[in-house]
Amino acid sequence: MDGLTSGDALFGTFDNFEFFPIVSDRSWIHVVEFCLYGCPDIAIDVPADPPTAPTNLRTNSTPNAITLNWDDNSNCETGYSIERAQVGGVFSEIARIAADSTSYTDTYNLSGNTVYKYYVRGVNGSVYSQYSPLCYGETGPCDSGFDRCELLPGNKL
């Protein structure tokens, strides 16, 4: 059984053990061991597939909030991770939201007249999608809002 990787199928008889897949869900594939000689059951967990990355990330800025919208391209995410940084700063996760979401309004600890950068990525258990394209938003007067997005999938600036 050495050398198994995610996605490997485990069937048949190995050293007096028989293996059969019995349950598959969105996060893990469970395999139960049935011993030929009355051995106890064990489970082997294989990590889930990553979700497909969100696309078409865009922002709409107001003086006190920045709303992000994106296209949900995945059918296996368990949620979305929203990451933010000020220009020149380091990205950090500011929110984890529900599966099938396509928008998020950021009001968390924003400073006035400040440009922020955003990424969104899908989450499936402990597995992440690639990053969405980079997108910017600016807090400040409504007539000077800076909304710009770049098509840089999978890259973090």
pTM for this predicted structure: 0.65
Q: pLDDT value at position 42?
A: 57
Q: Which CATH superfamily includes the segment(s) 55-149?
A: Immunoglobulins (2.60.40.10)
Pairwise CA distance, residues 68 & 46, whole Å: 33
80-107 residue pLDDT tens = 999 999 989 999 999 999 999 999 999 9
Mean pLDDT of the chain, nearest integer? 75
Place of tokens 């368990």: 78
144 three-class SS = helix
* 43 against 31, higher pLDDT: 43
Dist. CA 66–CA 80, nearest whole Å = 17
- pLDDT single digits (tens) 32-71: 444 455 555 555 566 678 999 999 999 998 888 999 999 9
